[in-house]
Structure 1
Amino acid sequence: MRRQAWIAVGGVVVLALAAGAWVAMKPGSAPGGNAQAAAGKPGAAASAPPLEFRSNEVVQPQRAALPERIAFSGPLVAPNTALLRARTSGTLLALTVAEGDRVRAGQVLGRIDMAELAPRIAERSALLDSARATLAQAERTHASNERLAAQNFISPNALDSSRAQVDTARAALAAAQATLETTRVGQRDASLVAPIAGIVARRHVLPGEKVSAEQQVLTIVDLARLELAASVGTHEVARLQPGMAVRVTVEGLDGALTGQLARIAPAAEAGTRSIGVTVALANADERLRAGQYAIGEVLLPDDRQRLLLPVTAVGSTAGQSHVWVIEGGKLARRAVTLGRRDEAGGRIEVLDGIGADARVLGSRFDNLREGAQALVTGSAPPATASGPAVASAATAASASPLR
């Protein structure tokens, strides 16, 4: 019995040793857990193969000036816009221009029917002739009375009375002349005359329609000078002043134009807390049109050298900005404090957290681990902070770039 018990114990030991050997030879097995568990423990990063980054995926901070840009947008407007209005009521007989036609200042563009003025002018002309005749008769009578008074044939009172009649007749003549001139001015108002040179933007009435005094007939626009009407925040307006050069890009137009900051509103707009600015643009060739959307940009020079990185090199976790650097052949995450940002150039200022000699990953990657082995391959020169780095498809799968 004792011998059989020892044989049974020996069989169990042999089975246990066999099972242990089978587990040890199983692929992916490791003491203390599988590969993923090992990677999560201290020392796993050191035993993992190093991550490879191409040289164009690693940048070094550069010191350079970073001019600040103040941008604003809005429509183009034509400050020299005139509304041609009817100066009298009547029927619009003719309108000789259409929308898009070019006109010159003083050009007759249409006429309003003023037929009822003709008899009125004739009537007031007759009244003027009558007043003129009355004045002539009064002057002759007064001259005769003066001779009679010199011979003492009439009294001084009679002479004063005749002089008063002359004055009254003279005043009546002046009133008749003024009335006739007013009527003739109304007749001249029947002609619609262009107040400025420009292009007809809109016709508000058509021939044959009845118009009233001060009714809009035509809108004329002078495109030789346009303005960009925009607004900026109250925190930016203090850095602007009239006369500054403004870079203007216009919707539908290739390239940029140069304008000048003409005016800054004296008060903020209610509700928006923004302040209006006006940029003057020369448009002698009339390439631009009123109403087009435009973006203005003022470049403020920078008098200091700043430490710059590509925007793509900076990540954020829980509101804290950070970058990944390669130090001593290992990855390290460094919290950074950011400053001025250049959206157009894709650059950002780093105030604190890294030095100018740091080697920074120029793109954001997934699955990076603190302390992981890392090396840089390739002979291309390191990317600078002048633009974002391009992630390489050859980077290890464990550090795949974010797309």
Structure 2
Amino acid sequence: MQADTPLLEVSRSPRRKRLILAGAAVLLIGAVAAGGYVMASRKSPAAGDGKGKEAAPALQFNSGEVAWPLREAMPQRIEFSGPLVAPRTAIVRAKAAGTLLDLSVAEGSRVRAGQSLGRIDLADLQARVSERSAMLESAQATLFEAERLHDSNQRLAAQNFISPTALQASNAKLEAARALLKSAQAQLDTTRIGLREAALVAPIDGIVGKRHAVPGEKLAAEQPLLTIVDLATLELAGTVSTHEVGLLKPGQAVVLQVEGMAEPVKGKIDRIAPAAEAGTRAIGVVVALANRDEKLRAGQYATGEVKLADATERLTVPITAVGQASGQDFVWTVENGALVRRVIVTGRKDVAGGRVEVLKGLDAKAPVLAARFDNLKEGAQATIAGSAANPGAPAASASAPRPAS
């Protein structure tokens, strides 16, 4: 048995070596994996540890996106709008019933005061004139007979051939004949006036704006036939609020921008309504403008503006820099390398100039973001590129002027 022992050990030794090598390999792999885990843990801390996060890059704004507050006068502008109207507009009406025989003018035709515009069949009115003339002649004959009879009775009464009562009756008949003649004369004059007024003539100089009837149509009295418009003077009828009307007065210059016209036109306030309109608290303002060359037309829409000078320098920023949230106005400023959201109180606005007055909440030397940006966060790092970052440097552009002092 002892002789066999070395042979057994010899036969088992290769297997044992393999097992030992395999175990060593496993241990080596585990050690390498553990070392990699430790290194990875050192390089990438846990997600809950905020100390390992990288800082967000600073926002950079160029000079065109930043503006400095300016101190400047802000002239107040009062605006009102409405259609242009022609105050001298006449409607030609038929003064008597009859058939329209002819209209000699068309829409757009220029007419002069007293010019014939057409004809109406006035046979009925002419017959009435003839009737009144006959009544007048009859009254004249009656008066002549009453006068002759009264003269005769006066001579008879002087010779006591008739009583005083008969003479008084003769005189009463004479007075009645005279009254009848006056009545017949008045009726004839009235009928002739009606016939004369029934003639279609232009009452004013102007342009035919519209025809309301056509030849051959049966007309009633006072039926509209033509509308004549005088464009030499036009008016803009607008409204202003009650807190602005105190700044206006008749004679003030008004600049009007009329639709379809490239250049503005000048007018002046002609009159202001004495009371506000019920329910709107708006007060009417009428602006008159000369239109001798008749380039403008009634009905064109126009916007009028009254500019009132301002002697006060006000702190202003671009309108585009002002945002609104929860009913409050605010601006974004860059202060000490960070974004700051400033709530402000605004005053006057100059829409044409693109500026708004800041009454409270903004430092005169704080640059503001003149453009609108989304997802800005207060406290985020921010810088201003170019000369706009230096408050003392000249402005790089119109949107980035020097700050107010």
Range of TM-score over shorter length: 0.7 to 0.9
Residue 16 of structure 1 corresponds to 34
Is 1:160 equivalent to 2:168 in the alignment?
yes
CA-to-aligned-CA distance 1:259-291 (integer Å, 9 cap, x gap): 222233333334444332222121111111111
Shift of 1:225: 1.2
Partners of 1:317 and 1:37 lie apart in 2 by 35
Shift of 1:110: 1.7
CA-to-aligned-CA distance 1:141-188 (integer Å, 9 cap, x gap): 322332333333333233222222221221121122222222322322
Is 1:374 equivalent to 2:392 in the alignment?
no
Contact 1:313 1:388 in 2 (8 A): no
Taking a change above 3 Å as real, the CA distance of residues 7 and 273 of structure 1, as seen in their structure-2 partners, is same
Partner residue of 1:322 out of 316, 320, 330: 330
Residue 242 of structure 1 corresponds to 250
Partners of 1:99 and 1:193 lie apart in 2 by 15
Taking a change above 3 Å as real, the CA distance of residues 20 and 337 of structure 1, as seen in their structure-2 partners, is farther
Partners of 1:154 and 1:373 lie apart in 2 by 130
TM-score (norm 1): 0.82
CA-to-aligned-CA distance 1:108-138 (integer Å, 9 cap, x gap): 2122111234444333323322322222222
Partners of 2:241 and 2:119 lie apart in 1 by 49
Contact 1:75 1:291 in 2 (8 A): yes
Shift of 1:64: 0.6
TM-score (norm 2): 0.81
Partner residue of 1:171 out of 179, 194, 207: 179
Residue 341 of structure 1 corresponds to 349
Question: Aligned with 2:231: secondary structure?
Answer: coil
Residue 38 of structure 1 corresponds to 53
Contact 2:63 2:384 in 1 (8 A): no
Question: Aligned with 2:91: secondary structure?
Answer: strand
- Please, which moves more after superposition, 116-125 or 67-76? 116-125
The one-letter amino acid paired with 1:230 is G
CA-to-aligned-CA distance 1:35-92 (integer Å, 9 cap, x gap): 99825xxxx35xx4x4433333332211011122222211111111111111111111
Within-5 A mapping of 1:276-295: 276-295=284-303
Residue 395 of structure 1 corresponds to none
Within-5 A mapping of 1:45-64: 48=57, 50-64=58-72
- Please, which moves more after superposition, 87-96 or 119-128? 119-128
Identity %: 56
The one-letter amino acid paired with 1:242 is P
Shift of 1:7: 10
Question: Aligned with 1:177: secondary structure?
Answer: helix
Is 1:86 equivalent to 2:94 in the alignment?
yes
Partners of 2:327 and 2:156 lie apart in 1 by 114
Partners of 2:339 and 2:123 lie apart in 1 by 95
- Please, which moves more after superposition, 83-92 or 230-239? 230-239
Question: Aligned with 1:242: secondary structure?
Answer: coil
Partner residue of 1:102 out of 101, 106, 110: 110
Is 1:352 equivalent to 2:370 in the alignment?
no
Is 1:147 equivalent to 2:141 in the alignment?
no
- Please, which moves more after superposition, 249-258 or 371-380? 371-380
The one-letter amino acid paired with 1:77 is V
The one-letter amino acid paired with 1:243 is G
Question: Aligned with 1:229: secondary structure?
Answer: strand
Count of residue pairs brought into register by the alignment: 376
Question: Aligned with 1:138: secondary structure?
Answer: helix
Question: Aligned with 1:295: secondary structure?
Answer: strand
Partners of 1:159 and 1:371 lie apart in 2 by 123
Partner residue of 2:195 out of 172, 187, 194: 187
Residue 224 of structure 1 corresponds to 232
Partners of 1:231 and 1:196 lie apart in 2 by 30
Contact 2:63 2:400 in 1 (8 A): no
Partners of 1:291 and 1:37 lie apart in 2 by 72
- Please, which moves more after superposition, 196-205 or 118-127? 118-127
Question: Aligned with 2:33: secondary structure?
Answer: helix
Q: CA RMSD in A?
A: 3.3
